[in-house]
Amino acid sequence: MNELVSNAINSLEVAKMVDKQHSDLLKDIRRYTGQLIEGKIPFNDFFIESSYVSDNNRTLPCFMVTKKGCEFIAHKLTGQKGTEFTAKYINRFHEMEEGKALTPLHPAVASGVADLGRVTERIMKNQGSAPYKIAEVFKFECEQFGLRLPPDFIKIPEYEQLRLAVEQ
């Protein structure tokens, strides 16, 4: 799931890029997924069902659109709109790949990452793991979901640095 989250953009963002109402884009995507299912082609390579919380605190449907999904949508558009969307989604995915822009993480996924971090911390503390080891594992878990933590997130105490240097 982590790759799907970090390598996809929300259908709300896609709707803005193609200058279309989100509800209309959802109808299109549902039609595409139905046609893919009919053709026995897995649609999750293109579109991942999701949801978001609106400004009114309502949970509403959306899709996470993968790079393949954007290519799929771009092939359905013609003329200026098609050209502009193609350029926009290509730039967006290049930004994501280069780490210049982070994909907004769905609140449920963010909550799941936080829960995973708490469980990991509890287990590792019960096993007597050093705090910097817990931080290393949490940083790794975050990276699996496309979240980057600052380089100085893990602080290894000086005495541990010395011990590690001696062991090598």
Q: Which amino acid is at 137?
A: V
- Per-residue model confidence as pLDDT tens digits over 53-96: 888 888 899 999 998 899 989 888 888 887 888 888 888 887 77
Report pTM.
Answer: 0.55
**Average pLDDT, integer, range 160-168:** 59
Select from 1, 4, 8, 2 the least CA-distant residue to 96: 8
Q: How far is CA 123 from the centre of its chain?
A: 26
Domain boundaries, the chain: 2-98, 107-167
- Per-residue model confidence as pLDDT tens digits over 94-153: 777 776 545 566 666 777 788 888 888 899 899 998 888 888 888 887 777 767 777 777
Say if CB 14 and CB 4 are below 8 A apart: no
Q: Is the dihedral of CA 10, 2, 29, 95 positive or negative?
A: positive
